[in-house]
Amino acid sequence: MALNFPNPSRSFDASRKGVRFVGHDGVFEVPFFIEADALAKASKAAHRPEASQDDCLSAFDRLRSAIHDVAREIHGSRRRSSYTLNASDFR
């Protein structure tokens, strides 16, 4: 079964500075976390150490399709119970 993202929910994790979201592989929930640096690189914006919750969530929403594509690629190549997407995952 392919990884999909039927639930558009996402949340900001202030302690880790990034956004959490969930995918589904069949009946299995697959948690993801994307670092603020990755959001900045994917959006071609300069990373600001003080990136706010609104900055991160807005960037995630703008880049949702690309983020999901990267998440699918990584999930397909290395099966884990959870994933952290970082700047090196975005070319």
First to last CA, the chain: 26
Q: So what's the pLDDT on residue 49?
A: 61
Q: So what's the pLDDT on residue 41?
A: 85
Beta strands in 1-91 (DSSP E): 3-4, 10-13, 18-25, 28-35, 83-85
Which residues, other chains included, contact 42 with Cβ-Cβ below 8 Å and sequence gap of 6+?
Answer: 59, 63, 66, 67, 90
Dump pLDDT digits (tens) for 43-86: 876 556 667 899 899 999 999 999 999 999 999 888 888 999 99
Dump pLDDT digits (tens) for 1-19: 689 999 999 999 999 999 9
Which residues, other chains included, contact 61 with Cβ-Cβ below 8 Å and sequence gap of 6+?
Answer: 10
Dump pLDDT digits (tens) for 26-43: 999 999 999 999 998 888
Q: Check: pTM over 0.75? Answer yes or no.
A: yes
